[in-house]
């Protein structure tokens, strides 16, 4: 158990953060529209792990992405965006399947996505990926790569290797029934993965999809009962409640200007990892994660032009 005044410890490795999972195109409506009546959409670089890696790099830590895209125009678009962001692309596998796509309405609330998946779950465990795990201090994944085979087996091997080597493991339990096979109990599988991670960050919507409706406090307890070590339950405009299993603390939202909620959770993760790697206490690490999320909410798209972590710290008076 990590105390709120304690700090994460890391070995001396050449990379700070490895994110494993989907790299895809976000098609976001040009207008605020909850009914998909908008006539225009703009394509953005997307995929939670890739968003986190790019944001983390801009905040001042070293990050690497492992993902799979198609041998098509959208795949080339994503690779070009990675290079333009100063990221390495040697962890991106190319397949003869279509690059995955998500259609999202621009929203000031929680956006409701439509998923078109193919290449993202073809990620294979190869020598390059194993080497990337060995070089990292922390590894991150979400529900996307574990929702389908063969990438589920790939992530299982990454988790096993990461635990053996003492890496910090972060898991975003962003369960959506639509990304799982119809005949599979995806919620049960997600619950089985939760105790294998060191940090999880469910939203209130994630908790409801996994457990049904309940109070935030009871939802938090359900994650802990499954074996979660550190639970960050985000509550939108109401901030978050966080528990390490021994103590629970509340955090207020720092967002004052909300333009687009897409990628707000990814921004939190990037701030959290950057602060943890830089040696801040858990309390400070959480506060900085929320500050980075608040900064992102002022811009459209999942990946924005972030300043370094210290600049955000100063801007939000932390």
The string of DSSP codes covering 27-95 is EEEEEE-SSS--S-EEEEEE-HHHHHHHHHHHHTS-EEEEEEEESSHHHHHHHHHHHHTT---TTEEEE
The model's pLDDT over 118-169, given as tens digits with 9 standing for 90+, comes to 999 999 999 999 999 999 999 999 999 999 999 999 999 999 999 999 999 9
Q: 216: exposed, middle or buried (C-beta count within 10 Å: 0-12, 13-18, 19+)?
A: middle
CA–CA separation, 85 and 305 (whole Å): 10
> Does pLDDT of 219 surpass 80?
yes
Question: What is the per-residue pLDDT for 305?
Answer: 87
Percent of the chain residues topping a pLDDT of 70: 97
Specify the pLDDT at position 40: 86
Q: Model confidence over 2-17: pLDDT tens digits? A: 899 999 999 999 999 9
Alpha-carbon distance of 139 to 161, in angstroms, equals 10
| pLDDT, averaged across the chain | 93
Question: Are the beta carbons of 265 and 233 closer than 8 angstroms?
Answer: no
Helix (H, G, I), strand (E, B) or coil at 247: coil
**Residue-range domains of the chain with CATH:** 17-315 (3.40.1190.20)
pLDDT at 107: 66
Residue 109, pLDDT score: 65
Map residue 154 onto helix, strand or coil: helix
Comparing 64-78, 88-102, 242-256, 300-314, the range with the smallest average pLDDT is 300-314
Host H or E run for residue 92: strand 92-95
The alpha carbon of residue 92 and the mean position of all alpha carbons in its chain are separated, in whole angstroms, by 17
Cα–Cα distance measured from residue 206 to residue 202, given in angstroms and rounded to the nearest whole number: 6
**Band of residue 114 on the pLDDT scale cut at 50, 70, 90:** confident
- 252: buried, middle or exposed (CB in 10 Å: 19+, 13-18, 0-12)? exposed
Task: Specify the pairing of strand 92-95 against strand 63-70.
Answer: parallel
pLDDT of residue 267: 94
Identify the pLDDT of residue 108.
Answer: 65
For the stretch 278-318, pLDDT in tens is 999 999 999 999 999 999 988 877 778 899 999 999 999 99
More confident residue, 36 or 220: 220
Residues 261, 109 contacting (CB under 8 angstroms): yes
pLDDT mean over 68-84: 96
């Amino acid at each position: 158990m990590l105390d709120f005044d304690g700090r994460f410890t890391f070995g001396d490795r050449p990379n700070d953060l490895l994110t494993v999972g989907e790299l895809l195109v976000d098609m976001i409506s040009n207008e605020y529209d909850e009914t998909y009546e908008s006539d225009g959409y703009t394509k953005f670089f997307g995929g939670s792990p890739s968003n986190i890696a790019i944001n983390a790099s801009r905040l001042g830590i070293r990050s690497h992405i492992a993902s799979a895209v198609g041998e098509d125009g959208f795949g080339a678009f994503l690779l070009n965006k990675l290079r333009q962001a100063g990221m390495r692309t040697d962890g991106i596998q190319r397949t003869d399947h279509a690059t995955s796509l998500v259609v999202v309405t621009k929203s000031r609330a929680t956006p409701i996505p439509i998923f078109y998946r193919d290449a993202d779950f073809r990620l294979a465990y190869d020598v390059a990926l194993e080497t990337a795990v060995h070089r990292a201090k922390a590894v991150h994944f979400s529900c996307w790569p574990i929702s389908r085979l063969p990438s589920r087996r790939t992530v299982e091997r990454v988790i096993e290797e990461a635990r053996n080597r003492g890496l910090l493991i972060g898991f975003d339990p962003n369960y959506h029934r639509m990304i799982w096979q119809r005949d599979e109990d995806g919620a049960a599988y997600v619950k089985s993965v939760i105790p294998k991670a060191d940090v999880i960050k469910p939203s209130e919507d994630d908790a409801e999809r996994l457990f049904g409706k309940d109070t935030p406090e009871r939802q938090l307890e359900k994650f802990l009962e499954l074996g979660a070590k550190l639970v960050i339950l985000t509550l939108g405009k109401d901030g978050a409640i966080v528990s390490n299993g021994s103590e629970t603390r509340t955090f207020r939202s720092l967002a004052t200007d909300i333009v687009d909620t897409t990628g707000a959770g990814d921004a939190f993760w990037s701030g959290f990892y950057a602060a943890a790697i830089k040696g801040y206490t858990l309390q400070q690490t959480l506060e900085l994660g929320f500050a980075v999320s608040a900064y992102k909410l002022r811009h459209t798209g999942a990946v924005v032009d972030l300043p370094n972590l210290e600049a955000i710290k100063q801007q939000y008076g932390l």
